Structure 1
Amino acid sequence: MSWKTLDDMELAGKRVLTRVDINVPMDGDTVTDATRIERIVPTIRDIRAAGGSPVLLAHFGRPKGQPNPEMSLSRLVPALEAAFDALVTFVERPSRDWIDAQAADAIILVENTRFTAMEEANDPQMAQFLASLGDIYCNDAFSAAHRAHASTAGVAHLLPACAGRLMQAELSALEAALSNPKRPVGAVVGGAKVSTKLDLLQNLVQKLDVLIIGGGMANTFLAAQGARLGASLQEADLHDTARDILDAAKAAGCTVILPTDGRVAREFAAQAPHEVLPLGPETQLEADQMVLDAGDDTAKAVEDAIAGLATLIWNGPLGAFEIPPFDTATVAAAKSAAAQTTSGNLITVAGGGDTVAALNQAGVADDFTYISTAGGAFLEWMEGKDLPGVAALMQ
């Protein structure tokens, strides 16, 4: 796979139209988590160091194609200035003449791209307008790369285009994890429902050596094999699909690891009374019993499997990690993966909101090789789908 980076572009004296993701959580006018802003700092710094001027394009919230003062990017100027240690000039209705009148190294922030319906429609007129504002297009918003919008795809076809530092890191990490991985390669896929990750599972079993399934998803697979799991979360209408995925994995030579035991409780609450019980096709739980986490034998099997891998992709927890002690298996597996990574034996790439939260809870997020904050784009990449924002950089 080949895409240009900032290193391939002549940036001196150029206005660099830079698509970023600064869709950060806020409480009033205070940014409560600046991670997404912090992650674009290297791109902004490198553009300015090379003599260019970043013109930032971004969306914020879901304004549904209409201006909405509560979703104005002007509210983010103080947080951006703090992160960049530089002035940020906000503009509601830019023109090229106005932009060219600004300082040669100015950081310019254009109002929310989604304040018009033309953005999400990838309207050619809007793409042409955006292209008129810059000399080079730089996409640093992998998290929006699965959207074919004017600011993520349309404009990229109209200007010399490249990936920013965050996009570059994301694409390199994902390519190393799935497109051209060191083998054996495995994945932990967890979370509540099979239905949200059908395409993902069907793609992964064709590419992996080991697939570890956890969380509520695992219940559906166990129930499909005959287990009666009481009040456990599972999707009865997907039993045939679960069996098909297991058959496809077998045909492709992918080993699937399902829980062989679980932490079982009668209420979904922190520190609920629970017991560790064996799980398998013969399991017969009582009507009010719920499997809320993988058990100790399963956690050990997962750790052993991870120890045999060269590359691990992680998406989703192994249990109801938000409520102790049902975070036990997730934390144990995460610490094992982190230890293998820091010792140089394993490449680990993780993504998805619950995943990041779980790894933070385990205290190991900084030990993974790469953690994606991209959410939907990360999932669609793992599903094997083409991402319009990435495809546009491959011209």
Structure 2
Amino acid sequence: MSQYKVLDKNSTKNKIILLRVDFNVPIDNKKIQDITRINKMREIIHSHINNNNKVVLCSHLGRPKKNKKDSLSFLPIKSEIEKALNSEIDFKDVEKIEKSKIKKSKKKIFLLENIRFYPGEETNNDEFSEKLASIADIYINEAFSCSHRSHASINGVTKYIDSYAGETVIQEINALNKIITQTQKPVACLIGGSKISTKIDLIINLLPKMDYMIIGGAMANNFFKYDNVNIGKSYFEQVNISIVKSIHQVANRCGCKIILPTDVIVSQNQITKGTLKKLNEINNDDCIFDIGNETIKIIDETLSKCKTVLWNGPFGLFENDNFSNGTEKIAKSVANYTKKNNLISVAGGGDTFTAIKKSNLISDFSYISTAGGAFLEWLEGKVLPGLKVLEK
């Protein structure tokens, strides 16, 4: 297991810290819709300030296009960030900010403009990386969710400045290691979502470590097709059926049991509540939108036997209240056994986080990651460029 360079906060004083955070928050009409990611950093930022350091916050926001940048500027939401952090912030353009001016300023917190506005960020340009490094004494990565990117503010900057893994990054790594290297068995993996192609590497890498692989969401439809189950007009990703065959083969070799839905909720549209059906009852004009009660019971019974569970991806069209029951019941089962049986529960991915939050169960899981791509790539066993450069 890799060891990472970590800063001793108590001995770090009177420094300018470039803090790579993930403030990529959802925005509507120039208002932040979910402040979670910013709130998560409040205590860490203030701990640095309390040691008489100055903090320069660096983050991206969305995926800016050349001629459509205004809606993704941090300037319109600066006041909301100030309110969340309970501090005044000085807003800065990367190309105009200088270390000498930061030192002279009475402000303690500085916020850089959306780092993806600058071409050198996504190309991991050396000159731009060096410019970023020049404004601070120390760099800390608190953005695990972005650490799968070979971008200047994640990777390139570390060549020119003393760099460290932040508290939240270490927390995330420790939580994921409980799934990968320090697993308490039996262990189950709940994999949902719509596209099997985005999860194939994850599933194949996790199968040897799992006792149960529980598959749901539209991704399960690919498994149904493999088993010659009529899925009607349900969505399924057009991929080579051999993908499903290879998953079954690896599972058989590893002794991992694959659990698929045995009943489902179907409808001809998303407006009306669906009908509960067994798999052999699905009609040609049906669409599968959720898992049924029997499946929920099987999953609950499986989780009751486990000591560790990993969850990525919803098990139905959870954003529609007509089809959110399956995902909500799974969230409640995991939360229940986390409290009742000391189950180690780790969940991650944007939709999974949203689903658990919708069920008001965030605090009942052992660990919930807001990371998407980085979360998956770590579990796939891939090297994350933003973390590789922070190894001892």
Specify if TM > 0.5.
yes
- Distance in 2 between residues matched to 1:222 and 1:179, nearest whole Å: 32
Establish whether residue 391 from structure 1 lines up as the match of residue 388 from structure 2.
yes
Contact 2:194 2:237 in 1 (8 A): no
Among 96, 102, 105, the residue aligned to 1:102: 105
State TM-score, norm by structure 2.
0.93
- What is the one-letter code of the residue matched to 1:391? K
- Distance in 2 between residues matched to 1:267 and 1:68, nearest whole Å: 37
Q: Which moved more, 1:154-163 or 1:115-124?
A: 154-163
Match in the other structure for 1:82: 83
Match in the other structure for 2:165: 163
Report the alpha carbon displacement of residue 335 of structure 1 after superposing the two structures with TM.
0.6
- What is the one-letter code of the residue matched to 1:40? M
Report the alpha carbon displacement of residue 6 of structure 1 after superposing the two structures with TM.
3.6
| Closer, same or farther: CA 297–27 of 1 in aligned 2, 3 Å | closer
Map Cα deviations across residues 184-241 of structure 1 (whole Å, 9 max, x no partner). 2211001112122121112121322211000111111121022122212223533221
Among 198, 209, 212, the residue aligned to 2:211: 209
| Closer, same or farther: CA 62–236 of 1 in aligned 2, 3 Å | closer
Match in the other structure for 1:21: 22
Map Cα deviations across residues 137-159 of structure 1 (whole Å, 9 max, x no partner). 10111111111111011112322
Match in the other structure for 1:368: 365
Contact 1:229 1:284 in 2 (8 A): no
- What is the one-letter code of the residue matched to 2:169? M
| Closer, same or farther: CA 344–40 of 1 in aligned 2, 3 Å | farther
CA RMSD of aligned residues (A): 2.0
Match in the other structure for 1:32: 33
- Distance in 2 between residues matched to 1:24 and 1:235, nearest whole Å: 29
- Describe the SS at the equivalent of 2:346: strand
- Distance in 2 between residues matched to 1:77 and 1:268, nearest whole Å: 38
Among 327, 333, 343, the residue aligned to 1:330: 327
Report the alpha carbon displacement of residue 66 of structure 1 after superposing the two structures with TM.
7.4
Establish whether residue 62 from structure 1 lines up as the match of residue 53 from structure 2.
no
- Distance in 1 between residues matched to 2:358 and 2:17, nearest whole Å: 38
| Closer, same or farther: CA 219–27 of 1 in aligned 2, 3 Å | closer
| Closer, same or farther: CA 122–237 of 1 in aligned 2, 3 Å | closer
Report the alpha carbon displacement of residue 25 of structure 1 after superposing the two structures with TM.
2.1
Match in the other structure for 2:339: 342
Contact 1:40 1:165 in 2 (8 A): no
Match in the other structure for 2:142: 140
Report the alpha carbon displacement of residue 173 of structure 1 after superposing the two structures with TM.
1.4
Report the alpha carbon displacement of residue 248 of structure 1 after superposing the two structures with TM.
0.6
| Closer, same or farther: CA 357–125 of 1 in aligned 2, 3 Å | same
Report the alpha carbon displacement of residue 176 of structure 1 after superposing the two structures with TM.
1.9
- Distance in 2 between residues matched to 1:390 and 1:36, nearest whole Å: 20
| Closer, same or farther: CA 42–65 of 1 in aligned 2, 3 Å | farther
Matches within 5 A, 1:1-395: 1-7=2-8, 10-64=11-65, 68-92=69-93, 93-103=96-106, 106-235=108-237, 237-272=239-274, 274-277=275-278, 279=279, 283=280, 285-395=282-392
Contact 1:43 1:140 in 2 (8 A): no
| Closer, same or farther: CA 236–284 of 1 in aligned 2, 3 Å | farther
Q: Which moved more, 1:374-383 or 1:158-167?
A: 158-167
- Distance in 1 between residues matched to 2:321 and 2:102, nearest whole Å: 53
| Closer, same or farther: CA 177–14 of 1 in aligned 2, 3 Å | same
- Distance in 2 between residues matched to 1:343 and 1:234, nearest whole Å: 36
- Describe the SS at the equivalent of 1:195: coil
Map Cα deviations across residues 33-58 of structure 1 (whole Å, 9 max, x no partner). 21111111122012112232111111
| Closer, same or farther: CA 234–154 of 1 in aligned 2, 3 Å | same
Q: Which moved more, 1:261-270 or 1:301-310?
A: 261-270
- Distance in 2 between residues matched to 1:189 and 1:161, nearest whole Å: 35
Report the alpha carbon displacement of residue 9 of structure 1 after superposing the two structures with TM.
7.3
- What is the one-letter code of the residue matched to 1:99? I
| Closer, same or farther: CA 270–119 of 1 in aligned 2, 3 Å | same
Contact 1:66 1:115 in 2 (8 A): no
- What is the one-letter code of the residue matched to 1:266? Q
- Distance in 2 between residues matched to 1:379 and 1:254, nearest whole Å: 20
State TM-score, norm by structure 1.
0.92
Number of corresponding residues: 389
Report the alpha carbon displacement of residue 99 of structure 1 after superposing the two structures with TM.
1.7
